[in-house]
Structure 1
Amino acid sequence: DSRPGGLNETGIAAYKMLDDAAQKEAAWLLRHPCIEIRLQTVLGRDVTLASLREQYHAVVLALGLAAQRRLQIPGEELPGVLPAVPFIAALRRGETVPVGREVVVIGGGMTAIDIAIQIRLLGADIVHICYRRGIEDMGASEHERQLARDQGVLIHAGLRPVEIREAVGGGMELLMDFWHKEAGKWVPSGKSVTCFADQIFTAIGQTLDQSTWVDDPKLMSVALDAQGKIAVDELGRTNLPFIYAAGDCAGRSPDLTVHAVADAKRVASAILADLKSEVA
């Protein structure tokens, strides 16, 4: 990216990050004489993991989750269907963004809440959040859900998207199936509903972006876990010596900033211990 800060800069809604907080924090860190930042440098394209390992005693992969999960349903390629995180990033960069009148957000985490509130504040008349399981299963906290309700956002549970179609006269029709809990499992109820929207946001999670890894053999040898994140031990060590991972890209880490910070502290301690062990 052209600016430091990661998701604090590009992935958290503008109404939450006031007074340019992410950039101020980055500027404070960069005051340290031993910290250098190289922007717009892509691992696997501009630098390789092998070259970094040759230059440094240890390498920490703090890549985040830059790729957006897809709905895998017909119609998600329509122009009015947008992933939430890039939209939020464009807004944070000060770009002009489209604002729908009737908006549907698909997802149940913090990003779903963020985009729903943000698009409502930008002037959308009606904003629905549709989540596939129960309200109590949503990744967003009750506090965040109430913030959305206070802004007039409508939250619906037990709805799974099936298809998105172009509507006659403009806009889109979102077909969703009702699901309910039966014997502890979520199963189809046999009923469906069609909702009109002129803008649909997907906020169903992010994945590790490996698009630039293919030309970097050492990077390709980093082991991933069953969820597609970088497999690490309890201190952030990967399967490769002196290669560590922290934050959202690491398998043991929940996708929250506070956990990413805690990961970094554990990894720093592990690096110091491992280097001392090697010298001893």
Structure 2
Amino acid sequence: MKVEDLTLFTVVVKLGSFTAAANALDLPRGNVSRRISELEQDLGVALFFRTTRQLSLTQHGEAYHQKLLKALEALDQANDAAQQVSDSPKGKIKFGLLPESDGPLQEIIFSFQDKYPDIELDIRIINNGFLEMYPQGLDLAVHGGELLNSNIIARKVFGLERVLVASPEFLTLNKNINNIQDIKQCDCICYRWPSSGIENQWHLNDEYLQVKTKLTSNSIGFVKNAIIHGRGIGFLPQILIGDEIRNGQLIHILPDYRSEKEDIWLLSPEKKGISRVTRLLIDHLLIEMPKLVSLS
């Protein structure tokens, strides 16, 4: 009976299906089903009721699950205690990043790997840490905006501001942009959220500006490049376009108009699920990520 199989059992229970557990752990579904069957054979009891539509715990499975969670937590604590005396922590971290945030965070991630060369990082691009934490088996994720009620721990990192930007070529053709009302007469490029529509109401100086757009995308990278190519005005997080503003590809327009700050969070599973190596990355990010705001 392997610890990996016991952990697999708890993941199947948490996610409710063999397929979801396979996706979270990057395993073939058949591998998950076989290993759970072998675990049941070793124990001599059925852990799950299986139907075509539903997977649920038997009475034996429920009792086993409750005891196993405590045992695995104790094992994790023992492993952490052993590693604390080691000069080189080892382990793997699945880290979820929002689209386009990998650029600003790369140097921070690289410096962490230089400090802890035996820790493996698996970087995933995600849209929502709350929704994807368990299905993707993430240990840590970056999240922007509102928090959802869940059994996920959220740590605030900083407040993010958006700015109005356009290319020099666009501003040459549209010279009469002197106040926020002038934006309404210009073509704008808007981001489409994965689950909540087009971001065409821009919050500036405590008022909402309804903009017109002929170009939208659910890729923040596409939106940024379209603005650089003179297709319209954009409203982007300053942290994502600091380099483009500094090298003159984008111009920060109407700088007196400030956006409402959007909170950026680090999400992780409930405390008993955090490994020592994940805690090391959390501590590193909480120190280094706020520096990005001053640099932008």
| TM-score (norm. length: structure 1) | 0.27
Structure with more helix by fraction = 2
| TM-score (norm. length: structure 2) | 0.26
**Structure label with greater radius of gyration:** 2
